Amino acid sequence: MCKTLEPLTRSQRNPVLTDGYGRAVRYLRLSVTDVCNFACAYCSPDLSAGCASGQECTAQELVRIAGALVRLGIRGVRVTGGEPLLRPDILDIVRSLRALDPRVDLSLTTNGFRLSRLARGLREAGLGRVNISLDSLDPAAFKRLAGVEGLAAVREGVAAALTAGLDPVKLNVVVVQGLNDAEVPAFARLTQDLPLHVRFIELMPMGQAAQTLGPSRRVPLDAMMALAGPLEAVARPERPNGFGPASVYRRPGAAGTLGFIAAVSGRFCETCNRVRVTSRGMLLSCLAASEGLDLLPLLRAGATDRALEEAIRVAVAQKPSGHAFGGCSGARVGAGLGMCGIGG
By three-state DSSP, how is residue 68 classified? helix
Task: List alpha helices for 72-171, DSSP H.
Answer: 90-100, 115-125, 139-146, 151-164
- Model confidence at 329, pLDDT cuts 50, 70, 90, reads very low
Res 191 pLDDT > 70? yes
Res 14 pLDDT > 60? no
Is the model more confident about 165 or about 15?
A: 165
∠ Cα 55 56 60 (to 5°): 120
Burial pattern 16-49, b for ≥16 Cβ within 10 A else e, equals ebbbbbebebbbbbbbbbbbbbbbbbbbbbeeee
CATH class of 24-342: alpha beta
Give the start-to-end residue ranges of the domains of the chain. 24-342
Instruction: Please write the tens of the pLDDT for every residue from 96-126.
Output: 999 999 999 999 999 999 999 999 999 999 9
∠ Cα 183 79 185 (to 5°): 10
Q: What is the pLDDT of residue 208?
A: 56
pTM: 0.88
